[in-house]
Structure 1
Amino acid sequence: MNLVTLAIPFFLLAVLVELALDRRYGWGLYRLNDAIGSLGAGIMSRITGLVRKGVFLLIYIPLFELLQPYYQAVGFNWSMENPWHLLLAVVAYDFCYYWKHRFAHEINIFWADHLVHHQSEDYNLTTALRQPCGGLPIGWIFYTPLLLIGLPWELLVTAGAIDLIYQFWVHTQKFPKVRWMEWILVTPSNHRVHHAQNKVYVDRNYGGVFIVWDRLFGTYQEELETEPCIYGVRKALNSFDPLAANLQHYKRMALDAWHTKNWWDKLTLWFRRTGYRPADAEAAMPVPSSDLTDFRRYDPQISAGQRYYALAQHVIYSAATLVLIWYAAELSYGQLVAAVGLLGAGLVINGRILDNHRLARPAELVRLAALLGTTPLLPAALGLGVAIYAALSALAWWRLAFADKGATVALVSD
């Protein structure tokens, strides 16, 4: 089990602490639907990772072995036990991360994956856990330069985990600007800039741990007191469905490729600068950007009972995910795929419940019926527990979904 997985309980505890403080002091940082949307995307990312085969180490390790004569001639001798070596590994990894992150904002095909992390229109610790499912396996290219300094794969993976874990705490609005830190490290202040969609803030502050890369390469922007951050993306997702979140930009690019008559654009728009759209595709299918002068967060209104139902289901999915991660090694690949599929379906439907989508009502009953159908395949005790859960959920959802028909969509103004 890697460092990131071990850190998950601490992440969730920190979220609960920030949420409790938010409720006590009335900061207004959390909305239930947005928080569940972000956490649902994070769960989707973790469970799909269980069935998705990464290619990075499959390429990195053989190349590392092939270059052993070069490392011996140069005298590279990294050690996991040496804390200075670990620090140097984190610095080297973060340098590569800066360029990977920068390209993720500047090239369409990379943005399609990274976009998920930026879709939340709130900014709190749940935003840090909002992660994509991986997209096309091409991000590893940016870390291959670490072969030139002979960085062993074990040290690379550890440095990557440290880099990712560090980035969790900077997703908060309640940590003030600390001048000396702003020169060296990524902080909540300069990372708030990174998540803002204000014109002055867009495509700035790419560092993971160190902000010095942005200062060196001209992408640094300080958080301005005169320009409050407006979070989210200019072309809003307007859904809490994690599958829709992951497909948003891929779908848009595919539709653009379909609508444009220019074959060069059909082939190259995927690799053009982020935001590029063929003129004829844009004319056929305009997608307006958010009006930042009168910005309104996406906030569909559903009944209190349905909100609590969605929260209860999310808690169950979170617990099931932790159990699945813990026992994943003991399951066959087919069992793992089936478990991931059932959990993924639940996350999608739960997001649509929060969207007040008309198909969410029957879809949830279908999901529970399908889950009930799996119980004969499970061990007796587990099957009984799943059957009780499915039956109670179905009864609660039938009452909530088909008795309450007055929910409408309203928007929260900032």
Structure 2
Amino acid sequence: MGLVTAAIPFFLLAVLIELALDRWRGWGLYRLNDAIGSLGAGILSRILGLVRVGILVLIYIPLYQWLQPVYQSLGISWSLENPWHLVLAVIAYDFCYYWKHRISHEINIFWAEHLVHHQSEDYNLTTALRQSSDLVPLGWIFYLPLLLIGMPWELLVTAGAIDLIYQFWVHTQKFPKVRWMEWILVTPSNHRVHHAQNKVYVDRNYGGVLIIWDRLFGTYQEELTEEPCIYGVRKPLNTFDPLAANLQHFRRMWLDAVYTKNWKEKLTLWFRATGYRPADAEAAMPVPSGDLDNFHRFDPTIARGLRWYALAQHLIYSAATLALLQYSKTLGYGTTALLVLMLVVGLVVNGRILDGEGRTRLWELGRLIALFAALPLLPQAIWAAVAGYSLVSAALWWRLVFARKDDTVTSVSH
């Protein structure tokens, strides 16, 4: 089990603690729909990783093995057991991460992947778990320079996991500035800046663990008392569907490439500055940016029963994901892929339920029927659990949307 997978239960425990404090103190940091949307994106990211091989693995390991005689001749030898080697590895990894993160904000196709992490219009610990699914994986390019210092694959993976795990805690609004930390480390304060869409804050504070890279390369911005952070992206997602979240910018670029008549634009818009659009495509299909002076979060009102149903489904998907991550190596690839597909469909439909999408009345019923029909394709050990889940969920769904109308609740506003 990898470090990140092992840390997931602790992440979820921290989320529950922050949520409990939020409700007790009345901070208003959490909305059910946004939290489920972020956590759903995190689940999607983890489960899709089970059905693909990372490109970095395929390229880095052979190159490292090819260069190993050179490392030996130069006396370069890293060890996971040496704590100083691990510290140096994290620093080197974080330097590469800074440039990966910075380019992800500056070039269209890289932003299409990274955008997912910024779509949440709330800022709490669930935002940390809102990760891209790397549908078009390109980030591996930025870690190849670590071959120049002979970093072995095992140390690279460990350093990357530490870098990612560290970044979890900085996604909170309730940790104040600590002056000495602001100069060296990425803190909640300077990472709040990174997630804000205010003009003064956009494209600042890219570090993962160390903020010194931003200070060195001119991308640092302090959080200002007179300028409260407004979270989210200028062109809002307006759905809690995690698959749509991953496709948002790719879809926009594809439509622009199809629409524009200029072949040079069709081929190059993917690699232009973030937000660049061909003039003819932009004129025909304008996508206005949000008005920060009159900012309103996407927060559709749905029936109370549907909110509870969506929460219950999300908890089931979370438990199923943890189990799948734990036991995927004992399953065949086909079985794993089928289980991943079922979870993806569930996450998409659940997000659309929270959107108030009317077509989910039939989509959710169809999903449950298909799941029950697929029982013979699943491991026999889970037949009873899946059958019981399908029947109980179908009965609840029928009662909620077909048998009667539930009371509605007013959306949470802050």
TM-score band, normalised by shorter chain: over 0.9
Matched AA of 2:178: V
TM-fit CA distance, 1:374: 1.8
Separation in 2 of the partners of 1:224 and 1:130? 25
Kindly provide the CA deviation profile for residues 247-300 of structure 1, in whole angstroms up to 9, marking residues without a partner as x. Answer: 000000000111111111110000000010111101110111110001000001
When structure 1 is superposed on structure 2, of 336-345 and 52-61 the one drifting more is 52-61
Amino acid at match of 1:37: G
Aligned pairs for 1:269-348 (under 5 A) are 269-348=269-348
Whole-angstrom distance in 2 between the partners of 1:275 and 1:379: 46
Give per-residue Cα distances to partners, 1:328-357, cap 9 Å, x unaligned. Answer: 001111111100000100000000000000
Distance in 2 separating the partners of 1:356 and 1:143: 42
Inter-CA distance 395–45: structure 2 relative to 1 (3 Å threshold): same
Partner of 2:356: 356
Aligned to 1:131: 131
Structure 2: gaps spanning 5 or more residues:
none
* Alpha-carbon distance in structure 1 between the residues aligned to 2:218 and 2:380: 61
Amino acid at match of 1:210: L
CA distance in 2 between counterparts of 1:147 and 1:155 reads 12
* Stretches of structure 1 lacking an aligned partner (at least 5 in a row): none
CA distance in 1, matches of 2:67, 2:338: 40
- The answer as to whether partners of 1:298 and 1:412 remain within 8 angstroms in 2 is no
Taking structure 1 as reference, are residues 83 and 380 closer, same or farther at Cα in structure 2, changes over 3 Å only?
Answer: closer
| Equivalent residue, structure 1, for 2:252 | 252
Q: Structure 1 CA distance, aligned partners of 2:334 and 2:131?
A: 25
What's the secondary structure of 1:299's corresponding residue?
Answer: coil
How far apart are 1:69 and its partner, in Å? 2.4
Quote how far apart the aligned CAs of 1:135 are.
Answer: 2.5
Question: Does structure 2 conserve the Cα–Cα contact (< 8 Å) formed by 1:237 and 1:245?
Answer: yes
2:191 aligns to what? Answer: 191
* DSSP 3-state at the match of 2:297: strand
Q: For the residues of structure 2 that align with 1:278 and 1:287, how far apart are their CA atoms?
A: 13
Contact 2:113 2:135 in 1 (8 A): yes
Partners in 1 of 2:91 and 2:404 — Cα distance? 54
RMSD between aligned alpha carbons?
1.5
Aligned to 1:387: 387
Q: Where does 1:127-276 land on structure 2 (aligned, <5 Å)? A: 127-276=127-276
1:92 matched residue in structure 2: 92
Q: Provide the secondary structure at the position in 2 that maps to 1:387.
A: helix
Deviates further, 98-107 or 371-380: 371-380
Quote how far apart the aligned CAs of 1:410 are: 7.9
Alpha-carbon spacing, 1:300–1:405, altered in 2? closer, same or farther (3 Å): farther
Which one-letter code corresponds to 1:305 in the other structure?
Answer: G
- Other structure's SS at 2:298 match: strand
Question: Paired residue for 1:13?
Answer: 13
Q: Distance in 2 between matches of 1:291 and 1:407?
A: 32
Cα distance between partner residues in 1 of 2:264 and 2:407: 46
Q: CA–CA distance in 1 between the matches of 2:58 and 2:261?
A: 39
CA distance in 1, matches of 2:150, 2:195: 34
- TM-score, normalisation: structure 1: 0.97
Displacement after TM superposition at 1:358 (Å): 1.3
Name the stretch that deviates more: 204-213 or 403-412.
403-412
CA distance in 2 between counterparts of 1:178 and 1:49 reads 36
1:103-122 aligned within 5 A:
103-122=103-122
Cross-structure match for 1:56: 56
8 Å Cα contact 1:238-1:298 kept in structure 2: yes
For 1:40 and 1:337, how far apart are their aligned partners in 2? 18
Cα offsets for 1:298-341 (capped at 9, x unmatched)? 00100110000000000000000011111100111111110000
After TM superposition, give the deviation of residue 402 of structure 1 in Å: 2.7
SS of the aligned residue for 1:296 comes to coil
Aligned residue in 1 for 2:41? 41
Pairwise CA distance, 1:380: 5.1
Q: Which amino acid aligns with 1:102?
A: R
One-letter amino acid of the counterpart of residue 263, structure 1: W
Contact 1:296 1:413 survives alignment (8 Å): no
In the alignment, the residues of structure 1 paired with residue 196 and residue 140 of structure 2 have an alpha-carbon distance, to the nearest angstrom, of 27
Q: Deviation at 1:137?
A: 2.2
